[in-house]
Every structure is written in structure tokens, then in C-alpha cells.
């Protein structure tokens, strides 16, 4: 497995999709996840490990040509009131990776940060990569901290890092989990004929990016990741929609009524997230191709057939 891609977080929604993309491209992958996962291919060397300490990374870095870090153990909602958990489960493992990478400074790193939680302050227009970041949640604070540690590693050891800040990712393969994605949450309620509980009045705006558009950007970043330095790229559709508008679109696509109850809003949730992917367009000629309606149709076809 020499010259492999070390994929950290291979068991999650993004990680599983990247496994498919990498193996279809003929890549060898060392895939690591905190929980059991589908390794999917003979070119995948799978490991179920927590990866919390510096020494956990050593056996893999010497055989890798790049590191793709997409692991996360929290969301804005699940991190509320739990700053120590955020430090232990997200920040500490990332910092341990960076210390391990000090012995492998030529290995490029691609890190999955967040746009939806960092561009959470109401501002005129859409936020590009030069916009100030602002966190309402410990999850977002952890992402900001990780980005700063990565930048410091690049500056001290001439490392090459690409930080991707995606908006709300969705698509086939995204399982229904508490606090992980409004799209599968809504689809799950529709399949079972249950009521969806919504935080706030449904006016919160979000940008939704189809998973295949995101993986295209990961591949582009991976192919260009050997350039030393610290670079940040937004990953978004560039078109925000409020929750009520999203629900109306889901009802039209599925032909079913989505029953919902509106609960009090949460302080960790931003009222509006509007983004633009300026740098990705400039550097990779990348932009989102799958419009929201088409992406939701594809996702519903997958969800409704696998959840029967």
C-alpha cells in the first residue's frame, strides 16, 4: 500500500463517497474510521481506530502520498454545552496528526472544515474566503482552531495544506442521524409518515451542495495539493434557500406532505448562511453543477428505495 491516500474518517458519509471515488480512479487507500465501515474494494486497507495520539498515525504516514482528513465527531447541535468533548474528540486528534506530520513535511494534507458553521454572522452578500469567520457553536470553534493549527504547521514545516469549507452537504449515501443533515431527516420522516421537529420558524437560510460536486473539488485539490503553503477554499452551490423553501421543494419532488412542528430556535444555529466559491473557480475552474431540485430527486430515489 505504498503511495496510498490516507483517508481519515472513511466510515462517514463523505468518507464512504470518497472511497468510491478514489478506488474508481485506481488509487490505493489506507482507510481509517472510528467505527466499522465498508472497505468496498481490494485496494482499500481498512482500519477501525480512534487515531487520538501522535503514535497512532506513524504506521500509516510513511506509506502515504497524501492525507485526506474528513472525520468529525460532532455537529453544532451535538457540541452545545460540551467544549471539552469538542477538544478531545475533534481538535486533539487533528493536532496529533499535525505533530506526526512534522516528520513527513512533504505529505500534502486536505482537511474538511466547515462553511456552514463559520460564516454564521449575518452579512451583506455572500461570504467568500476573505470573509471573517464567526462561530456560534463549539463545533465551529473547533474547526477554526484546527485551521489555525494547520496554518501554523504549514508555516513552521513548509507543509502543504488545503482546507475545504463546505456548505451543507447532502446526497445518496447520507444516513439519517440525529443532528446530521436536514435532508435525510426530512426524507426519513416522509418514509415513516412521522412529524419533523424544526428548530426555529423555518426562515433560516442555508446553502446545499450535492456530494458529487464536492468530491470533484476534493479530487482537484488533491491533484494540486503538493504546492507548499496554506490555502482555503469554499465549497458551495452559491444559492441559499430557507428551510420552508427547502421543505416545499421536498414536498413537490416526493409528492408527499411533510408534517412538521416548529420549536424554539437555538443559539447555535445561524439565521443565514450565504457563500460563494471564488477561489475554487479561480484555481480549479470548479463550480457546483447539480442544482438543488435535481440533487434532491436523486437523493430521494436512493433514500426511498433503501429505507423500505
User: What band does 214 get if pLDDT is binned at 50, 70 and 90?
Assistant: very high
Q: Enumerate the β-bridge partners of residue 5.
A: 29, 66
Non-local (6+) Cβ contacts of 192 within 8 A are: none
Q: Which residues contact 14 (CB under 8 A, 6 or more apart)?
A: 70, 112, 169, 211, 214
Give the span between the Cα atoms of 70 and 277, in whole angstroms.
19
Model's pTM, two decimal places? 0.94
pLDDT of residue 271: 80
pLDDT in tens, 28-65: 999 999 988 888 777 899 999 989 899 999 999 999 99
**Does residue 197 fall inside a structural domain?**
no
* 152: in domain: yes
**The CATH number of the domain where 44 resides is what?**
3.40.50.720
Domain housing 60: 4-171+208-239+274-289
Considering the domain boundaries, does residue 213 fall inside one? yes
What does the pLDDT look like over 235-279, one tens digit per residue? 999 999 999 999 999 999 999 999 999 998 888 888 888 999 999
3-class SS of residue 172:
coil
Whether residue 250 lies inside any domain: the answer is no
Higher model confidence: residue 308 or residue 255? 255
Residue 302 belongs to a domain: no
Per-residue model confidence (pLDDT) at position 77 = 77
Cβ-based neighbour number of residue 127 at 10 Å: 24
What pLDDT, in 10s, does the model give residues 74-130?
888 788 888 998 988 899 999 999 999 999 988 999 999 999 888 866 656 788 888
Mean model confidence pLDDT for the chain = 91
Q: Does any domain span residue 184?
A: no
Percent of the chain with pLDDT over 70: 97
Looking at the domain assignment, is residue 148 inside a domain? yes
Long-range pairs for 219-224: beta carbons < 8 A, 24 or more residues apart: 219/21, 219/25, 220/280, 220/283, 220/284, 220/286, 221/110, 221/162, 221/164, 221/284, 222/5, 222/66, 222/68, 222/108, 222/110, 224/162, 224/283, 224/284
Mean pLDDT of 170-197: 92
Number of domains in the chain: 1
The pLDDT value recorded for residue 117 is: 87
Do strands 205-210 and 240-242 pair parallel, antiparallel, or not at all (unpaired)? antiparallel
Is 33 inside any structural domain? yes
- Dihedral angle computed from the Cα positions of residues 160, 236, 140 and 56, in that order, rounded to the nearest 10 degrees: -40
Q: Tell me: pLDDT of 217 over 70.
A: yes
Residue with more model confidence, 178 or 198: 198
What percent of the chain clears pLDDT 90, i.e. is strictly above it?
Answer: 71
> The C-alpha cell of 53 is what?
495520539
Amino acid at each position: 500500500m505504498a503511495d496510498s491516500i490516507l483517508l481519515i474518517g472513511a466510515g462517514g458519509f463523505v468518507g464512504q463517497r470518497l472511497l468510491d471515488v478514489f478506488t474508481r480512479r485506481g488509487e490505493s487507500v489506507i482507510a481509517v474510521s472510528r467505527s466499522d465501515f465498508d472497505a468496498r474494494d481490494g485496494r482499500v486497507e481498512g482500519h477501525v481506530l480512534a487515531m487520538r495520539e501522535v503514535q497512532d498515525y506513524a504506521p500509516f504516514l510513511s506509506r502515504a502520498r497524501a492525507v485526506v482528513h474528513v472525520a468529525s465527531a460532532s455537529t453544532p447541535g451535538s457540541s452545545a454545552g460540551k467544549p471539552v468533548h469538542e477538544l478531545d474528540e475533534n481538535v486533539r486528534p487533528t493536532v496529533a496528526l499535525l505533530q506526526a506530520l512534522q516528520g513527513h513535511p512533504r505529505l500534502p494534507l486536505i482537511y474538511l472544515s466547515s462553511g456552514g458553521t463559520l460564516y454564521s454572522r449575518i452579512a451583506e452578500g455572500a461570504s467568500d474566503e476573505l470573509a471573517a469567520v464567526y462561530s456560534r457553536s463549539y463545533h465551529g470553534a473547533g474547526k477554526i482552531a484546527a485551521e489555525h493549527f494547520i496554518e501554523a504547521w504549514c508555516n513552521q514545516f513548509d507543509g502543504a495544506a488545503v482546507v475545504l469549507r463546505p456548505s451543507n452537504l447532502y446526497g445518496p449515501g447520507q444516513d439519517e442521524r440525529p443532528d446530521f443533515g436536514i435532508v435525510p431527516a426530512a426524507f426519513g420522516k416522509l418514509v415513516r409518515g412521522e412529524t419533523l421537529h424544526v428548530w426555529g420558524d423555518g426562515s433560516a437560510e442555508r446553502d446545499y451542495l450535492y456530494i458529487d460536486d464536492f468530491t470533484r473539488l476534493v479530487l482537484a485539490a488533491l491533484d494540486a495539493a503538493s504546492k507548499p503553503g496554506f490555502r482555503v477554499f469554499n465549497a458551495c452551490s452559491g444559492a441559499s434557500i430557507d428551510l420552508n423553501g427547502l421543505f416545499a421543494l421536498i414536498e413537490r419532488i416526493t409528492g408527499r406532505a411533510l408534517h412538521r412542528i416548529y420549536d424554539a430556535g437555538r443559539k447555535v444555529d445561524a439565521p443565514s448562511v450565504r457563500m460563494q466559491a471564488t477561489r475554487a473557480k479561480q484555481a480549479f475552474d470548479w463550480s457546483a453543477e447539480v442544482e438543488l431540485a435535481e440533487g434532491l430527486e436523486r437523493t430521494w430515489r436512493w433514500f426511498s428505495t433503501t429505507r423500505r
